[in-house]
Amino acid sequence: MDGAHLERLRALRAEPSRDEAGDAARLHRVELTRAEMAGQGAAIDATLAGAAPALDEIAARLRDRAIGSVVVAGCGDSWFVGMGVRHALERLLGVPVVPAQALDHALYDHMGTGPGTLAIGLSAGGDTPAVMAALRAARAHGAFAIGVSNAEAAPIQTAFDAGLRVRATRKGWPTQSSAAAMALLIAFGLRLAREPHAAFATEFAGIGTVADATLAACDDAMAAIACDLARAGTLFFAGAGPHGATAQFAAAKIRELAPIHAACFALEELHHYRLPKAGDPIFVVAPDEASRPRALDTALVGKAVGARVHVALSRPDPEIEALAAGIVRLPACDPALAPIAHAPAFHALAYHFARARDAAGLDYGGVWDGARP
């Protein structure tokens, strides 16, 4: 490997923490994540209060502009934020909303943008190259481009048509920063809406309190599940519609904190290619009636093949509960707000899973004794 490649590799692997059990840098970040996940309601409130003047100003600028579509571009959790707000924004604005992977959008998928497109790019650090490129590509086609960041006066906030700030910390892995970003974009959607959505706005006003309550209510149950599954080498998550975003956040936190492989699937895809296998730990996020039939099918197949299917529900369901390996109780809420309300439960799972694996001396490869098992 030549010097240029070595230098590029160092930049690509700049994250100081490592997978090995007992790695001090990783465990420090795990604990920072724990502290931040407990402050989601406060971060949402601070973000909405701080951004109110900018939201009003941008909404006024867009009042006479016909918006035919919305693109929300990001990488990692910022991409999942787009998935998390898609259904709320589509309801409020009545137009298609595309959660775009930023590099894909920059390189390939921007051709459908135009003067009727509202393009929003999220970069917590403020200058993620792929997100900057996605907004530049959309703007070059006439889109109105808005940059969103946790950082004050970040390049992404000043280089385009408008900028918004998320008032949340991200010293650990993203939790409150994602929740506050979703709340910010939904608040923006409420300002842009052409008709009132009073019931939705009322429920949205209390979403930070609901998120904090979810973490408190689910913490002990998730700790028990995490200890039970600590030796798993891969976890699978699945959800449909807005619950797919919650499942994406869940898998991401496992990958970041644990750190092992974790994958997210659209709920329907669990029933193609005989996906559930014996021993697979699968979490199905299905807190509303629309997802219920496929959640039942997943629990049924899982029971038959020997998979360990946990189902996250917001209502009693004796049929599913009799088949599932475990049940996670989530608060009932409007499905379009569920990614904010329910993700904290899976933040707790990832935290306790990481701590349980470390206590057992496990790293990515299994038992850590100086050699791979």
Q: What is the pLDDT of residues 216-268, one digit of tens each?
A: 999 999 999 999 999 999 999 999 999 999 999 999 999 999 989 999 999 99
- How confident is the model at residue 154, as a pLDDT? 94
Alpha-helical runs (H) found in the chain: 3-12, 24-37, 40-61, 77-93, 102-107, 129-140, 155-158, 176-192, 198-205, 207-228, 242-257, 292-305, 318-323, 338-359
- How confident is the model at residue 20, as a pLDDT? 82
Taken in order of first residue, the domains within the chain and their CATH numbers are 37-205 (3.40.50.10490), 207-367 (3.40.50.10490)
- How confident is the model at residue 341, as a pLDDT? 98
Within 13 Å and on the Cβ side, how many CA atoms surround 108?
Answer: 4
Query: What is the pTM assigned to this prediction?
Result: 0.95
**Sign of the CA dihedral 180, 183, 185, 188?**
negative
- How confident is the model at residue 6, as a pLDDT? 83
Residues of the chain with pLDDT under 50: 366-373
- How confident is the model at residue 16, as a pLDDT? 82
- How confident is the model at residue 93, as a pLDDT? 98
- How confident is the model at residue 365, as a pLDDT? 53
- How confident is the model at residue 11, as a pLDDT? 81
Q: CB under 8 Å to 63, separation ≥6 — which residues?
A: none
What count of residues does the chain have? 373
